[in-house]
């Protein structure tokens, strides 16, 4: 009879599957990013900018995690990239097996960058490896500049942080520089970008980070082969 899995079995199975995914994606030279944020921080908007600005340079595909709708996947397709929707049916994070199950729906031979938009949640997505090369945490200024102190795990496990909605600073008590300082307190290694996905301010520096990561990924692939 099957036994009731305990958490450590579930997470170690997830880790093994994530490692297999990472190997497969690496063999294809695909850079994979896992975007984590609270609902409404602007993950989808950041992906839209990334698709539009890198069009003609890199081929991007997106896996969209949402509770029930496919609204974000439709936005991604409208922005010009293939998107696959995962509805978690209320589940608050994506798991490696969910990525595995939808990967065949993407033409991976035609993909340079795979972006996974996790379910809006700053807590448990940080504990689930999806086979990504990097986690990217998106924090918007209206959420407050103390976000990193309240949700350190998200900032601790990420390789980059994007501060969004900086154009709203004049109307808010939160300050971009305080948010930066709090991010640095939690994880001084993080690459931090301050952007507005409304005006496009700061987006170019984020795109340069993505470009560098793609180049590094390809260089690693060439070394391995």
* Binding residues vs Mg ion (CB under 5 A): 43-44, 72
- Strands (E) in 17-168, as ranges, are 31-37, 60-66, 83-87, 113-117, 134-140, 160-164
Contacts with Zn ion by CB under 5 A: the residue count is 3
**Contact call for residue 93 and Zn ion (CB under 5 A):** yes
Nearest by Cα to 130 from 155, 153, 99, 167: 99
- Strands (E) in 42-166, as ranges, are 60-66, 83-87, 113-117, 134-140, 160-164
* Nearer of residues 122 and 138 to Zn ion, judged by Cβ: 122
Neighbours of 215 (CB within 10 A): 11
Window contacting Zn ion (CB under 5 A); options: 24-32, 41-49, 91-99, 138-146? 91-99
72 binds, among Zn ion, Mg ion, none (CB under 5 to 8 A by kind): Mg ion
Q: How far is the CB of 85 from Mg ion (least distance, A)?
A: 11
Q: How far apart are CA 20 and CA 11, in angstroms?
A: 14
**Contact call for residue 92 and Zn ion (CB under 5 A):** yes
* Nearer of residues 43 and 93 to Mg ion, judged by Cβ: 43
Window contacting Zn ion (CB under 5 A); options: 124-132, 134-142, 178-186, 199-207? 124-132
**Contact call for residue 124 and Zn ion (CB under 5 A):** yes
44 binds, among Zn ion, Mg ion, none (CB under 5 to 8 A by kind): Mg ion
Q: What is the dihedral of CA 16, 20, 25, 27, to 10 degrees?
A: 140
Q: How far is the CB of 105 from Mg ion (least distance, A)?
A: 19
Q: How far is the CB of 56 from Zn ion (least distance, A)?
A: 37
* Nearer of residues 67 and 92 to Zn ion, judged by Cβ: 92
What string of H, E and C letters represents the secondary structure of 150-213?
Answer: HCHHHHHHCCEEEEECHHHHHHCCCCHHHHHHHHHHHCCCCEEEECCCCCCCCHHHHHHHHHHH
* Nearer of residues 93 and 147 to Zn ion, judged by Cβ: 93
182 binds, among Zn ion, Mg ion, none (CB under 5 to 8 A by kind): none
> What is the side-by-side strand order in the sheet with 31-37?
83-87, 60-66, 113-117, 31-37, 134-140, 160-164, 191-194
Residue closest to Mg ion, measured at CB:
44
Q: How far is the CB of 20 from Mg ion (least distance, A)?
A: 27
Which residues are at the interface with Zn ion (CB under 5 A)?
92-93, 124
């Amino acid at each position: 009879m099957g036994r009731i899995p305990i958490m450590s079995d579930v997470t170690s199975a997830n880790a093994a599957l994530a490692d297999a995914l990472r190997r497969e994606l690496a063999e294809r030279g695909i850079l994979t990013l896992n975007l984590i944020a609270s609902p409404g921080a602007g993950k989808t908007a950041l992906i839209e900018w990334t698709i539009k600005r890198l069009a003609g340079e890199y081929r991007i595909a997106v896996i969209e995690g949402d509770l029930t709708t496919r609204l974000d996947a439709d936005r991604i397709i409208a922005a010009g990239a293939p998107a696959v929707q995962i509805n978690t049916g209320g589940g608050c994070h994506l798991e490696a097996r969910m990525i595995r199950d939808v990967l065949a729906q993407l033409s991976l031979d035609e993909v340079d960058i795979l972006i996974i938009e996790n379910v809006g949640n700053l807590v448990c997505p940080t504990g689930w490896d999806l086979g990504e090369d990097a986690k990217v945490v998106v924090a918007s200024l209206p959420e407050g500049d103390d976000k990193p102190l309240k949700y350190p795990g998200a900032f601790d496990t990420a390789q980059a942080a994007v501060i969004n909605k900086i154009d709203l600073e004049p109307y808010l008590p939160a300050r971009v520089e305080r948010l930066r300082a709090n991010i640095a307190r939690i994880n001084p290694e993080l690459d931090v970008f301050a952007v507005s996905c409304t005006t496009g301010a700061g987006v170019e520096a984020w795109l340069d980070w993505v470009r560098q990561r793609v180049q590094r990924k390809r260089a690693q692939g060439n070394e391995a082969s």
